[in-house]
Amino acid sequence: MKFQETDHSKIFPNDTFGYRKVVVERPLRLHSQITPKAIASLRACSGDEIIRCELYDRFGDTLFTDFAKVRADVEKALNEWGADDDAEEDDEDGDEAPAKKGLPEKKKKRLLDAKTWERDGKLVVVATALRKELGGDLFENHNFFRDDVEKALKKLELKLTGPELKVFLKAVSWRDETASPVVAKVHKAGKATVDPLHGRFANPVGDKKLVIEYEPDTDLRDTEQVPLQEEVEAFLKREVLPYTPDAWIDDSATKIGYEISFTRHFYKPQPLRSLGEIRQDILAVEKEAEGLLGEIIGSPSPATAS
């Protein structure tokens, strides 16, 4: 009540306990290549890959071109899904076969939606045409690949919606730390200023007046707690950039919180024991162990023998 510091009472400014939780981003780096394997994966890009692949093995391209023709057979197959496995497990236990579990109705409804099959089939057709046009070479710069894909689509008079194009690019691309960063946005001269700490970078090639923003890699996203008493930029330069020089902070995701750590401010570490005390304890334990061993094997301990 006297508002004085003691061993049990300390006074701090409010911001001592505050911190900013900042999101640290790093650029997405991709290699791209239209391979037969990647094209085949598009047949099940609407989800439930295992089931869709098995259905494709049974019904073929009709799923994509004329789903109404095989819908009844597909529904029958989905109703029977997993029933054989349940029956086999029951026979092993010697019990009667239980009612089959089958697939959840929500998943079954999705697999019976003709539009999902139509979209997947469309992506396979477009990807096959793009491979024929662009070839199967590896693109180490995803930005060049993306531009070539857009040009090829116009040339072939093929159209993909934004979500469809995103699915296609994801299917034929993978992360590689040696690749160039994927460009998300380009600001013309005078529209933005270069600020690497906040994700706005100078154009590495071509027109140096352009300002580039990169696509963040969600797998590399991290967070840091920066004390309110410290500048975020200074913290980033000291704790982050020396290890990940391409990182930046997302100001829109910054949150402020408070945490009071009583241990940090009031804990008093106990003094370490001397080597002499530790040595005496070890010798005492060794002596006790020798006595116990003697009792077990029926021989006198060294102390008794002497």
- Measured CA to CA, the distance from residue 288 to residue 301 in angstroms comes to 10
Q: Which residues contact 149 (CB under 8 A, 6 or more apart)?
A: 130, 134, 165, 168, 169
45 and 167 Cβ atoms separated by less than 8 Å = yes
pLDDT higher for 81 or 152?
Answer: 152
246 and 212 Cβ atoms separated by less than 8 Å = no
Cα angle, residue 50 at apex, residues 159 and 34 outer, rounded to 5°: 40
Tokens of 303: 């102390």
142 and 112 Cβ atoms separated by less than 8 Å = no
Q: Domains of the chain: which residue ranges?
A: 14-28+181-262, 33-172, 276-305
Q: Average pLDDT for residues 94-115, to the nearest whole number?
A: 74
pLDDT tens-digit map of 188-229: 888 889 999 999 999 888 788 899 999 999 999 999 999 999
Q: Average pLDDT for residues 244-254, to the nearest whole number?
A: 93
**Residue whose structure tokens are 């109705």:** 105
- Measured CA to CA, the distance from residue 160 to residue 169 in angstroms comes to 11
- Decide if pLDDT at 113 tops 50: yes
Task: Identify the weakest region by mean pLDDT among 120-124, 139-143, 160-164, 289-293.
Answer: 289-293
Residue 65: alpha-carbon gap to chain centroid: 35
Q: How many CB atoms lie within 10 A of CB 233?
A: 14
Mean pLDDT of the chain: 87
